[in-house]
Structure 1
Amino acid sequence: MAEQEEDPLMSSQNLTCPLCLEMFKDATILTCGHTFCRICLENYDETQREVADMACPLCRVTTKLDSQCTACEFGKDAVSFCIACSYYMCEGCDEGHGQLMTTFFKGHQVVSLDDVKEKDISIDELSNKCSIHKRDDKDLFCKDCKVFICYKCTIVSHRDHVIKNQPDVVDELKNTVDRLIKLSESTIASLKENIGFIENKKEGVQEATQKLRADVMEAVHVKSIQLQENERMLLEQVDALQERCDGDIDTLKENAVNRIQNISRSLALVKDGIKTRHLEMDRLTEHSLLCEELEAILGEAFDETSAKDIVESVEEVKFLPTDNIHEEVGQFSTPTCRIINKFEFPKHIQGMVKKNINSVVIAQYGGQSVIKIKSNGDKQDMQKLPSMFYYDIAFQSRSKMVVSSNSYYEIHVHAKDGSRLATMEVPRGGDYPKVSIGPSDEILVANKSSQVFIYESSGQTLTHTIPTPNLPKQAFATMSGAIVTSSCDANPSVVQLFDKDGNAGTSIRALQGEYLYPAVDSKDRIFIAKVKKGTLLLTLYELKGLDLRKKAQFEKLKISPGSNACYLVCLSRGMLAFACGCWLYFVKVPYI
């Protein structure tokens, strides 16, 4: 059984106060760099009344809880505060600031901290004046620009924008935080349960591999001593299988733990920000962005199938002993690939991209919206862009979508809410442009011309082009930097590798009437689908530089005859999606 591990929420020293051993509440950093809860420091300071200054509870370096100068690096006590600069100033900085009041700092308002204390005035209240209309408070929030403004600014520079009162913004933000807290707690609980499920599946791998060992050793026992070398080789294969599976399962668990830690860190920042006495304008804007980031993390799908797929793939491997004493002990069976589900659509599929480990997003011929479909058949209509047809689609980080439209040369980048961020004009080729996304969010475009175009992530700049002789219709980037191209339904159909300088690598050429479609997985393995007269033949390759080395070829699968315009997508190590004509197939492949 696996040893009990610490709760990842409590094991991070970065989130725990050394005095109360709880998560930080109003975290306060001292001049020495150590951080504590504000209330813990105040309670600790009460016990140190016999000395003028407080010593850090950890390193004993002398420090103070009073405001310190933020305009210089000497950390002296502050005597004033400049509202325009948002700086606390010591006597030296205050004097220097005053000497430049008629030039650089003209119009700046400086207040004495003694006056602030005597009149019980909040620095936040003093900082609430409009920098343009200096007598007016910034008590309104522009939702379009995400800034606080005064009522005059709404007329001058924020006309027709959505304007809200500060209390309403605070209330909405608090409601958002409350909702995110509940959703975070629920998500963390589900992730913990998922970790337990993954750990149990790891035990299943161990049980399956132990059975394989028993089968091997029982067969070897009845053979002669000359077969011991063969036994060793077979057991090494089992060990390698278990090591690979254990490593992948450990990675799944580590990903879940890291996700919990990311949620916890973001949640701590969200909670801490909303508890401050006065939410400054900049803090509210920053806090809104933190909430959006946390919501994006919580919206990511759980990997609930990979651990199960790993165990099932190992259990499918059987040891086949031989009856001939003069032959080797035996060999392992090779599991086969199979179609686990297929769906027919009313129109041809002309664009497909991975959404998560068990679903794809497709575009249909002449359609103005895209459909998300899971391997179990669940469907969901997604973004709709009026007056534009989808021809191909790809997703960047933060759910940005890259769309090839019904134009021979235009590609658009859209935000999650559907708003257009950029439009790229691609040199016209022999077909509508196909798009894919590289490991750094760069955009790859192939349009049956003699080159592949690579744009930086925003779509604003064409960084470079790669000359290709085979007029590719599809192009994909690997994690190692290689570019995989395919001429798809051309005759002859060719898959070829290039580096970003245009140097060519392996070339795979199909026979007449055969068409090749590649897909790259997260481990830089490359699957190539060969389509011919209602049959699908899948081959797995390993990438070594610019060379493809065949690792496995699976038996042919029967598919419905259709268009030669096809798409292949890797969803996980054990699952592929393949589209051909009006048909979409989800294919289970062996865990090799």
Structure 2
Amino acid sequence: MAEYGEDPLMSSQNLTCPLCLEMFKDATLLTCGHTFCRICLENYDETQREVADMACPLCRVTTKLDKERVAGLPANVTVNGLVDDCRSADVSHKATDDVTKCTACEFGKDAVSFCIACSYYMCEGCDEGHGQLMTTFFKGHQVISLDDVKEKDISIDELSNKCSIHKRDDKDLFCKDCKVFICYKCTIVSHRDHVIKNQPDVVDELKNTVDRLIKLSESTIASLKENIGFIENKKEGVQEATQKLRADVMEAVHVKSIQLQENERMLLEQVDALQERCDGDIDTLKENAVHRIQNISRSLALVNDGIKTRHLEMDRLTAHSLHCEELEAILSEAFDETSAKDILESVKDVKFLPTDNIHEEVGQFSTPTCRIINKFEFPKHIQGMVKKNINSVVIAQYGGQSVIKINSSGDKQDMQKLPSMFYYDIAFQSRSKMVVSSNSYYEIHVHAKDGSRLATMEVPRGGDYPKVSIGPSDEILVANKSSQVFIYESSGQTLTHTIPTPNLPKQAFAIMSGAIVTSSCDANPSVVQLYDKDGNAGTSIRALQGEYLYPAVDSKDRIFIAKVKKGTLLLTLYELEGLDLRKKAQFEELKISPGSNACYLVCLSRGMLAFACGCWLYFVKVPYI
């Protein structure tokens, strides 16, 4: 704070360049906010021309320079304006050829001298009186002639060690924060809490710093010169190393070209294998269609021969009736109109994905994902589900007395109705015979196509209602959460075999090879296990807590396993190797509606699955792998 009667603009220490310690000349602003004389910054920049930016001499914050370097930095207009005002207001900063008035008396005469100790300009009279008192009151005062100041072209401030704000006080202290000399009053007014040092100490420190920097600079320059010699001596070594690198690159390219050729051969082999597999499947479809034509023609011939006989004996009448039933069953089977299309679409869905990284292999083939093509909600939980043909299933609902046939488009048809019982699970044998698990814990019924009951089986009671499935020879498999799987001959009259199963399965399926696939379904833990007819165990797949496994077998003896967990369905395809399962593909998770943990999975065709969970039925398209 300026003393009474003093101009605030005279606080010149706030307008002093930290580098030259003089009042700013063409004040220039850095990004950090610090200001310096432009000429000081240009001199400073000469020492670091090799770097693109400038570090502030005070705080080291970097200022970005353009191609003009310091000349391109902005001027501090505010500081330059204050400097101009200060110079015009402070008489000590005026040019000595201006008219300076006496400040020691009240007459306003022209000044001829200046007393540094008194900080007064004096006219001839005051100068004479001041001189007469030099041996008493003004002893030791230094008086300067203004003519001498004019000849030497210097300012009064340069000759005086007095504070420009507090005129009578010497600037014998140094503010380390502001890098300026100040008086003791300034430490209280404008430099509170700053680091203040005595002038002699500052001079000693500066001398020590200069000496240290001189020695360090000489040592650094010597080391740099020695380093330059070292670098030049290593130039030949660099050339040798780069030549080796060139040779290594050429060798790597050669090896990579061989690897790429091998990768190309392997990829083309995969394409050939895909074509061979699909061609084989197409041929199989064609053979099946031809075989079906032959069966129809053979059955039709037997039917025609029988009807031509005028008098049919009882045995021949029975045989003729059976022939008619067989022909009707063959004709009722749906045509496989989708498999060939699925095979073609599966090949088209496979894409070759070239790699973006030139250091890796050529690329790889994409794996098509499965997707839900349709879903349907029923008013009650689905209790049982079985394949009807390649795009439809038959389901039984909780507490229902009839079963419903539904296809992937949503077309529905009510089928057999048995008022005397509830359906719990269903399966179909040849000639459209239906095996029904009812609301009894131990009874299973076999019904003809017209609904008449052909047989009733009593199953040893287990921990749940029995679930049924049909084997390759029309045998009936029963699982009821007991420690064994029951196998009955096709009529249902005789229990032919039992297989011990410690995992208490709720589902069991026979495959063409003779193995039995079991699942404990919604038990914790849920386990899928393979057995042979003698009860020898093979692969077991165990789910984590809260995950439930449901298997299904397709026409190629491949096994799909559905893992159900918190509204998600994860399908995995396995191939059978004896009693072991080898994972062939795992598809992306599908989102399903949360429902009961009692679920069913059925393979309809090579590219279509049906999945039931709670009240929901899903038709899922899977890649033709």
Q: State the TM-score, normalizing by the size of structure 2.
A: 0.58
Shift of 1:498: 1.0
Counterpart CA distance in 2 for 1:289 and 1:22 is 123
Q: Is the 8 A contact 2:393 2:407 kept in 1?
A: yes
Q: Is the 8 A contact 1:436 1:445 kept in 2?
A: yes
Q: Is the 8 A contact 1:353 1:393 kept in 2?
A: yes
| Partner secondary structure for residue 77 of structure 1 | coil
Change (3 A) 1:164 1:221: closer
Counterpart CA distance in 1 for 2:329 and 2:49 is 47
Counterpart CA distance in 2 for 1:513 and 1:124 is 90
Shift of 1:396: 0.8
Q: Is the 8 A contact 1:184 1:267 kept in 2?
A: no
Counterpart CA distance in 1 for 2:308 and 2:161 is 19
Shift of 1:522: 1.2
Counterpart CA distance in 2 for 1:94 and 1:292 is 147
Q: Is the 8 A contact 1:223 1:329 kept in 2?
A: no
Larger displacement relative to structure 2 (40-49 or 361-370): 40-49
Larger displacement relative to structure 2 (444-453 or 35-44): 35-44
Counterpart CA distance in 2 for 1:175 and 1:373 is 99
| Partner secondary structure for residue 9 of structure 1 | helix
Which deviations, in whole Å up to 9, do the C-alpha atoms of 1:317-371 show, x marking residues without a partner? 0011124333211100010000000000000001000111100000000000000
Which deviations, in whole Å up to 9, do the C-alpha atoms of 1:517-570 show, x marking residues without a partner? 111111111111110110001111111111111111111000000100000011
| Partner secondary structure for residue 241 of structure 1 | helix
Change (3 A) 1:17 1:167: closer
Q: Is the 8 A contact 2:351 2:366 kept in 1?
A: yes
Unaligned runs of 5+ in 2: 69-101
Change (3 A) 1:42 1:143: closer
- Root-mean-square deviation (CA), in Å? 40.7
Q: Is the 8 A contact 2:424 2:436 kept in 1?
A: yes
Counterpart CA distance in 2 for 1:217 and 1:418 is 80
Change (3 A) 1:322 1:429: same
Q: Is the 8 A contact 1:25 1:272 kept in 2?
A: no
Which deviations, in whole Å up to 9, do the C-alpha atoms of 1:246-293 show, x marking residues without a partner? 111111111111111222222223333333465556544433332232
Change (3 A) 1:220 1:121: closer
| Partner secondary structure for residue 271 of structure 1 | helix
Change (3 A) 1:438 1:318: same
Q: Is the 8 A contact 1:181 1:267 kept in 2?
A: no
Q: Is the 8 A contact 2:517 2:528 kept in 1?
A: yes
Within 5 Å, which residues of 2 pair with 1:442-481?
442-481=475-514
Larger displacement relative to structure 2 (266-275 or 81-90): 81-90
Q: Is the 8 A contact 2:457 2:493 kept in 1?
A: yes
Q: Which has the larger radius of gyration?
A: 2
Change (3 A) 1:234 1:409: same
Shift of 1:224: 3.7
Larger displacement relative to structure 2 (199-208 or 581-590): 199-208
Which deviations, in whole Å up to 9, do the C-alpha atoms of 1:200-257 show, x marking residues without a partner? 9999999999999999999999994541111110011111111111111111111111
Larger displacement relative to structure 2 (215-224 or 499-508): 215-224
Larger displacement relative to structure 2 (440-449 or 104-113): 104-113
Q: Is the 8 A contact 1:215 1:319 kept in 2?
A: no
Counterpart CA distance in 2 for 1:6 and 1:258 is 120
Q: Is the 8 A contact 1:352 1:362 kept in 2?
A: yes
Change (3 A) 1:403 1:547: same
Q: Is the 8 A contact 1:400 1:413 kept in 2?
A: yes
Larger displacement relative to structure 2 (301-310 or 49-58): 49-58
Q: Is the 8 A contact 2:476 2:487 kept in 1?
A: yes
Change (3 A) 1:203 1:41: closer
Larger displacement relative to structure 2 (233-242 or 156-165): 156-165
Q: Which among 82, 105, 121 is matched to residue 72 of structure 1? A: 105
Shift of 1:506: 0.9
Change (3 A) 1:171 1:44: closer
Larger displacement relative to structure 2 (360-369 or 255-264): 255-264
| Partner secondary structure for residue 256 of structure 2 | coil
Shift of 1:192: 95
Counterpart CA distance in 1 for 2:317 and 2:194 is 18
| Partner secondary structure for residue 530 of structure 1 | strand
1:422 aligns with 2:455: yes
Counterpart CA distance in 2 for 1:144 and 1:163 is 8
Unaligned runs of 5+ in 1: none
| Partner secondary structure for residue 200 of structure 2 | helix
| Partner secondary structure for residue 576 of structure 1 | strand
| Partner secondary structure for residue 22 of structure 1 | coil
Q: Is the 8 A contact 1:213 1:235 kept in 2?
A: no
Counterpart CA distance in 2 for 1:266 and 1:434 is 34
Counterpart CA distance in 2 for 1:221 and 1:305 is 48
Which deviations, in whole Å up to 9, do the C-alpha atoms of 1:44-67 show, x marking residues without a partner? 999999999999999999999999
Larger displacement relative to structure 2 (396-405 or 270-279): 270-279
Change (3 A) 1:425 1:588: same
Shift of 1:470: 1.2
Q: Is the 8 A contact 1:147 1:285 kept in 2?
A: no
Change (3 A) 1:180 1:496: farther
Counterpart CA distance in 2 for 1:165 and 1:288 is 129
What corresponds to 1:16 in structure 2?
16
| Partner secondary structure for residue 314 of structure 1 | helix
Counterpart CA distance in 2 for 1:462 and 1:188 is 103
- Compare relative contact order (CA 8 Å, sep 6+) and give the higher one, 1 or 2: 1
Change (3 A) 1:239 1:103: farther
| Partner secondary structure for residue 47 of structure 1 | helix
Larger displacement relative to structure 2 (13-22 or 331-340): 13-22
Shift of 1:504: 0.9
Within 5 Å, which residues of 2 pair with 1:116-265?
224=257, 226-265=259-298
Shift of 1:438: 0.8
Larger displacement relative to structure 2 (309-318 or 136-145): 136-145
What corresponds to 2:73 in structure 1?
none
Larger displacement relative to structure 2 (111-120 or 482-491): 111-120
Shift of 1:502: 1.0
Shift of 1:384: 0.6
Q: Is the 8 A contact 1:82 1:109 kept in 2?
A: yes
Larger displacement relative to structure 2 (359-368 or 32-41): 32-41
Counterpart CA distance in 2 for 1:566 and 1:256 is 33
Larger displacement relative to structure 2 (448-457 or 288-297): 288-297
What corresponds to 1:487 in structure 2?
520
